[in-house]
Amino acid sequence: MDVVQATNTEAKQRVQELRQLLQKASLAYYVLDSPIMEDAVYDQLYRELQQLENQYPELVAPDSPTQRVGEKPATQFLSVRHNVPLYSLENAFNIDELKAWFGRWRRQAPNVGEVEYVCELKIDGSALALTYENGILTRGATRGDGVMGEDITQNVRTIRSIPLRLNLETLRENSLPERIEVRGEAFLPLEVFKQINEERQKVGEAVFANPRNAAAGTLRQLDSRTVARRRLDFFAYTLHIPGRDDASIANTQWEALELLQKLGFRVNPNHKLCPSLEDVAQYYEYWDTERLNLPYMTDGVVVKLNSFKLQEQLGFTQKFPRWAIALKYAAEEAPTRVENIAVNVGRTGALTPLAQMHPVLLAGTTVSRATLHNADRIAQLDIRIGDTVIVRKAGEIIPEVVRVLKELRPENAQSFVMPSHCPVCSSAVVREMGEAVTRCVNISCPAILKGAIEHWVSRDALDIKGMGEKLVHQLVDKGVVHSVADVYNLTEEKLCALERMGKKLAQKLVEAIAQSKNQPWSRVLYGLGIRHVGSVNAQLLTQKFPTVEQLAQASQADIETVHGIGEEIAQSVHQWFHISANQTLISRLKDAGLQFAGAVEQTGVSHEHQKFAGKTFVITGTLPTLKRDEAKELIQKAGGKVTDSVSKKTDFLVVGEEAGSKLVKAQELGVRQLSEGELLELLED
């Protein structure tokens, strides 16, 4: 709902819907241990409710989730009162909101000079409060509602990264009070989380939605042996000394982290001391992408004022500390409403249903449509026009709908049925046995032709600059082109006859088309749009088959011998070259001057005998002389494969300056590291 334009009646209805959903989510998460939505989704719905209540104060009610500090803990464990309340953190979702927080605390302390900030990754786990008396762990408690938690000491004792006895030998005598409380986050490493879900799946148990839910569920197991088997980990992030006001032990958050390490705790190794808000912003932006390479989940950055004295001066609001904020990354899941369901026809003829939605901010961009994949997925989701849905954007260009919030389904929601005929050419569609995809099989379908040409001219294929989607559609709709090969018959005169096409632009486009004839055989193969053949597979195939004739004449078994090419890809390639229309296309493109032969085999070295054949590389940091693309090309020419993330399958990590978490992970997994010089030496050997 557009909060700004909402009428009082609409706002009242939406507020009631949001309260019911948020209260149900809180009950499921905190009491029943059965979460129904992701944290990012909860945050977004919560903020929408806040905005509506701010706009219409008369709608605020005592039972609203915005008026509640926390939820009641579950009753399976003994409830205990925290020595110091565990306040939640206020959320910010971008740098502008971080600056607004800065302005708020500055108004509370206008005479404070330059300050330092401590940035720590916000670990996606479960908060714990650990009490130590005379250096011995005496209690471990969950956060609960921030005031009352649950005593889970027996379970906490199973976490090996939590010391049962503090290391006091490195401290001066009597420097630590009799009682201290350590705060931190229990979490499940991604590998462990994956193993747990695989085991649960094998025995028919429901899998955990994410590592955070798994960690919370594990901590609340009544049998501590189950907790021990699941191998929880722990990062400490602060300590409190109840009843003691001075800060002689640690004067700053940075010193507190150092002290925690001395006492025997793990602290997150990626924390940073930042002298300015600009440095905080750089830290936040850096980890926006690098966090994807971490062995655990993180959904943001916690920013704290470093000085404990300033923290004490600023104090707390009713809900949050004024001196800290959680700067979260853009949500990869968000709620919105389905306004219609349309069907798109792709270059392979696949009919893909798309949800047309009320625009929503997702992973930093505004989206208004999401893929529904196919008829089976629509049936599985039971999605209808008018539904409120959760959409996800996890690296995909077009987001996908992951579930329907049926609690908010309106009475007039409309069901959707896949069409029996192509919405573009009206030909009957086909769904082959064993396939989920419905296809238009009319090779003359304008939608298929448009998709084929758009793929051909794309950056990773023939890279014909200036030939965008609108121009391609115009060329097909006006009957100027009927095949990819017709692109090479375009002249300035033909182009100038089109709408919004001047002579200079037409001339540049003709030049770009001519230049595309120099693109290598691997790009031409990729541009042909053969099913399952991406740019990497195209390179592998052209290394093995340096001419189009060799590839066209190869058997499926021959194609399968290429490292990295499986049965499905080999079958698709073999079938494609045995279709007469495709043979005609190849002939026409050869006559136009396209490259259908490569230079790889001219060296006399086959792919199987290249130095890096079968080896996987990852590159991190800034290399001294080579650009990353140059290093990648050298590795690929030697038969190696370059990926973006470190895993057990990685053979080498090429390390430059300012290497990030990929280096840490490589060290943990025992992956061999190479400098640029060592890489070049291996290539020369």
pLDDT tens for each residue of 459-479: 889 999 999 889 999 999 999
Tell whether 120 is in a known binding site: yes
Mean pLDDT of 28-38: 66
* Stretch 260-287: mean pLDDT: 94
pLDDT of residue 248: 55
Residue 49 · residue 65 · CB < 8 Å: yes
Q: State the pLDDT confidence band at 237, using cuts at 50, 70 and 90.
A: very high
Least confident of 139-148, 199-208, 532-541: 199-208
214 backbone dihedrals φ, ψ, rounded to 5° = -65, -40
Of 64-73, 162-171, 587-596, the one with minimum mean pLDDT is 64-73
Confirm whether pTM is higher than 0.85.
no
158 pLDDT higher than 60: yes
Q: Taking 80 as the threshold, does the pLDDT of residue 455 lie above it?
A: yes
For 130, phi and psi rounded to 5 degrees? -110, 125
Closest CA to 466 of 426, 437, 443, 500: 500
538 is in an annotated binding site: no
Find out whether 119 is annotated in a ligand binding site. Answer: no
Tell me whether residue 328 is annotated as binding: yes
Question: How sure is the predictor about 185, in pLDDT bands with cuts at 50, 70 and 90?
Answer: very high
Question: DSSP letters along 632-659, please?
Answer: HHHHHHTT-EEESS--TT--EEEE-BT-
The single residue listed with the structure tokens 């910010």 is 92
Q: What is the pLDDT of residue 363?
A: 63
The answer to whether 281 touches 98, Cβ cutoff 8 Å, is yes
Q: Is 121 annotated as a binding residue?
A: no
Q: Which of 99, 122, 494, 632 is catalytic?
A: 122
Q: Is 470 designated active site?
A: no
β 79-81/148-150 pair status: antiparallel
Query: How many Å apart are CA 28 and CA 33, to the nearest integer?
Result: 6
Task: Please check if 89 is assigned to a binding site.
Answer: yes
23-56 b/e with 16+ CB inside 10 Å = b?
eebbeebbeeeebbbbbbbbbbbbebbeebbeeb
Q: Convert the pLDDT of each residue in 3-14 to its tens digit.
A: 445 567 888 888
Give the residue, 507 or 248, on which the prediction is more confident. 507
Q: What is the pLDDT of residue 140?
A: 94
The token pair at 571 is 């079958």
Q: What is the rounded CA–CA span in Å between residue 619 and residue 626? A: 11
pLDDT at 71 over 50: no
Q: Model confidence over 526-538: pLDDT tens digits?
A: 999 998 888 778 8
Q: Which of 76-85, 224-233, 302-311 has the highest mean pLDDT?
A: 302-311
- How far apart CA 361 and CA 107 sit, in angstroms, is 31
Chain mean position to CA 280 = 22
What average pLDDT does the chain have? Answer: 85
503 is an annotated ligand-binding site residue:
no
pLDDT at 223 over 90: no
CA 228, CA 224: separation in Å to the nearest integer? Answer: 6
pLDDT value for 564 = 65
Question: Known binder of ligand: residue 393?
Answer: no
Predicted local distance difference test score (pLDDT) of residue 247: 47
| 642 against 630, higher pLDDT | 642
SS3 462: coil
| Amino acid code (one letter) for 208 | F
Q: How far apart are CA 660 and CA 655, in angstroms?
A: 9
pLDDT of residue 29 exceeding 80, the answer is no
Phi/psi at 356 (nearest 5 deg)?
-95, 120
Residue-level length of the chain: 685
**Token output for 411:** 């009475």
Strand partners, 619: 654
Averaged pLDDT, 585-607: 73
| Contact by Cβ (8 Å): 356, 387 | no
Is residue 143 annotated as involved in ligand binding?
yes
pLDDT top residue among 23 and 559: 559
